[in-house]
């Protein structure tokens, strides 16, 4: 908590006021706790001196924040038009078969969580996904598993 508080205070120094530092503060709290738990909301609210309802209200607006515990690696697979046309649904079926994971779910061993995304801006290289912060594209039924096996 002390380390998180210190990090948030450093962020605040870069912004005109505490409220403007909310989004990056939520990001570091998520890194610290692994997701935005009640403790994470409280830590951010307390450090920024903002109401917890404000902090939670802002956080729940954005898809980039995790509102429940996640696996060690987060797969964010795009299923928007270009990726859908290029086989994203087939990839979801393959992920279900191989890892027993459904969209919105986490594998039993806690290795992967799967989230379906809207367009991630790589339509010319569809289908595409993020694994944690790593970008992968031109996915197919072979290379998706070669990629994912690098995440233990």
- Residues contributing to the site for ligand FES (CB under 6 A): 78, 80-83, 119-123, 126, 128
Q: Of 8 and 126, which CB lies nearer to ligand FES in the complex structure?
A: 126
Q: Of 39 and 93, which CB lies nearer to ligand FES in the complex structure?
A: 93
Distance, CA of 79 to CA of 91 (rounded, Å): 10
Closest CB 90 distance from ligand FES, rounded Å: 14
Distance, CA of 85 to CA of 79 (rounded, Å): 9
Half-sphere exposure of 13 (CA within 13 A, CB side): 6
Q: Of 21 and 88, which CB lies nearer to ligand FES in the complex structure?
A: 88
Q: Which residues pair with 7 in a beta bridge?
A: none
Q: Of 67 and 137, which CB lies nearer to ligand FES in the complex structure?
A: 137
Q: What SS3 string covers 44-63?
A: HHHHHCCCHHHHHHHHCCCC
Closest CB 108 distance from ligand FES, rounded Å: 28
Nearest-5° Cα angle at 132, 137 to 54: 125
Closest CB 127 distance from ligand FES, rounded Å: 6
Closest CB 87 distance from ligand FES, rounded Å: 11
How buried is residue 105: exposed, middle or buried, by Cβ count under 10 Å (0-12/13-18/19+)?
A: middle
């Amino acid at each position: 908590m002390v380390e998180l508080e210190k990090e948030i205070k450093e962020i605040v120094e870069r912004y005109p006021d505490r409220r403007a530092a909310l989004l990056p503060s939520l990001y570091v709290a998520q890194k610290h706790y692994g997701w935005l738990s009640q403790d994470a909301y409280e830590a951010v609210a307390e450090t920024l001196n903002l109401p917890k309802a404000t902090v939670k209200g802002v956080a729940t607006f954005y898809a980039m924040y995790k509102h429940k515990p996640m696996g060690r690696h987060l797969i964010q697979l795009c299923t928007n038009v270009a990726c859908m046309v290029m086989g994203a649904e087939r990839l979801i079926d393959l992920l279900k078969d191989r890892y027993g994971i459904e969209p919105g779910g986490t594998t039993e061993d806690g290795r992967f969580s799967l989230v379906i995304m809207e367009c991630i801006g790589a339509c010319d290289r569809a289908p595409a996904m993020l694994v944690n912060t790593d970008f992968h594209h031109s996915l197919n039924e072979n290379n998706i598993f070669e990629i994912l096996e690098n995440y233990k």
